[in-house]
Structure 1
Amino acid sequence: MRRDNTKLGPATAGPLFDFAARAIAVATGTVLAGLVTLVCLEAFLRGALNHSLGFAEELTGYGVVFMTFFGAALSLRGGSMFQVHFLLDAWPAATRRWVVRSFVVIALILCVILAWKTKDLPLSSFSRGKFAPTVLRTPMWIPQIILPAGFAVLAFFLVEQLLLTFRKTEDE
């Protein structure tokens, strides 16, 4: 299901998916701006004043993991994930649709399993009151919740991709 995103934007399965994508885009943009600011401030303080914030590495690590998962979900929705177009474009539209459906169903099953399994770690950390052995002493469940949330968001947009395979395209 190749889309020309330069003119129309990503294909959408409805306003719920649009709202979620906008919210995730704002969140990832905010995290990215915060990371850039934090890294620049840390570099300036180290270079100019020979001082470190001490917590920059911890927060940037959490931010990078957040942006990886949530950015991947936005890339999936925008159709900018890696695809083998020379094969997909050579097949008839019906075959292409079934290949995409198969991929989406397999990926959806994997995301649901991974979200389900990774939820145990933050729940365990929360119940046991675990904190990171760092300057900030971050409760461990906070960064650990990024994994199941990220897999859940990926699964959410995989559902949208699956719904889109049932729409008729202009080449059918």
Structure 2
Amino acid sequence: MAFVAGATLVWLMVSVILSVAMRNAGIQPFAWLFTSAEYGILYMTMLGAPWLVREKGHVHIELVTAALPDGARAVVSRTVAFACVVVSAILAWKGAELMLTNIERADYDVRAYYYPRWLLTVTFPLCFGMMAFEFSRFVFGEKLMHSGEAGIHE
């Protein structure tokens, strides 16, 4: 999923360059070019999110956890990770309901072309479910989500 998200980022770059070049040449860009970039932003965000959770690449603030002793930091970190599991699981559940509703109603996104809406909303249960799984690794695994080191570490 992270590879597809990365490839989508490349497509976004290409589609923007093509669109701008066509406009500068006085040519109307293809309608599907803009639409595919919109879809790409959703796919890139959703498909890349579980990988970011696994690699602890998502944004979180270590200011409070850095000030805590190790035991308290572990409790706070696992509690935050558990809350993330709950929220991700709820969003996966509601996303599945939305996707099934889109399938049941045969909903289409109609702009440049007819695109089955469930192909967009399928990312919600899939990706939020994977994020719930990845966050649960920080609840039950030996590694904590928070390192306890405030500041930028790269």
* Distance in 2 of aligned mates of 1:82 and 1:139: 32
* Distance in 2 of aligned mates of 1:125 and 1:142: 9
1:85 matches 2:77: no
Q: Which stretches of structure 1, 4 residues or more, deviate above 4 A after TM superposition?
A: none
Q: Helix, strand or coil: the match of 2:114? A: coil
Give the aligned residue type for 2:10. A
Alignment of 1:66-105 (within 5 A): 66-105=43-82
| Cα displacement (A) at 1:99 | 0.7
1:51-84, Cα deviation, whole Å (9 max, x unpaired): 2110122211111122223333333222233333
What residue number does 2:22 align with?
A: 45
| Cα displacement (A) at 1:49 | 4.1
What residue number does 2:84 align with?
A: 107
Return the TM-score normalized by structure 2.
0.82
1:155 matches 2:132: yes
Which of 73-82 and 115-124 deviates more? Answer: 73-82
Give the aligned residue type for 2:81. V
Cα pair distance change 1:129/1:81, threshold 3 Å:
closer
* Distance in 2 of aligned mates of 1:125 and 1:92: 48
RMSD: 1.9
Q: Helix, strand or coil: the match of 2:13? A: helix
- Are the counterparts in 1 of residues 15 and 34 from structure 2 also a CA contact under 8 Å? no
Q: Helix, strand or coil: the match of 1:75? A: helix
Give the aligned residue type for 1:149. L
Give the aligned residue type for 1:32. L
- Are the counterparts in 2 of residues 108 and 158 from structure 1 also a CA contact under 8 Å? yes
Give the aligned residue type for 1:88. T
* Distance in 2 of aligned mates of 1:40 and 1:155: 36
- Are the counterparts in 2 of residues 77 and 161 from structure 1 also a CA contact under 8 Å? no
| Cα displacement (A) at 1:166 | 6.0
- Are the counterparts in 1 of residues 5 and 45 from structure 2 also a CA contact under 8 Å? no
Q: Which runs of 5+ in 1 are unaligned?
A: 1-23, 168-172
Return the TM-score normalized by structure 1.
0.74
| Cα displacement (A) at 1:148 | 2.0
1:98-154, Cα deviation, whole Å (9 max, x unpaired): 111101111101111111112122212212222212122101111121222221121
* Distance in 2 of aligned mates of 1:146 and 1:48: 36
Q: Which runs of 5+ in 2 are unaligned?
A: 145-154
* Count of aligned positions: 144
* Distance in 2 of aligned mates of 1:126 and 1:86: 45
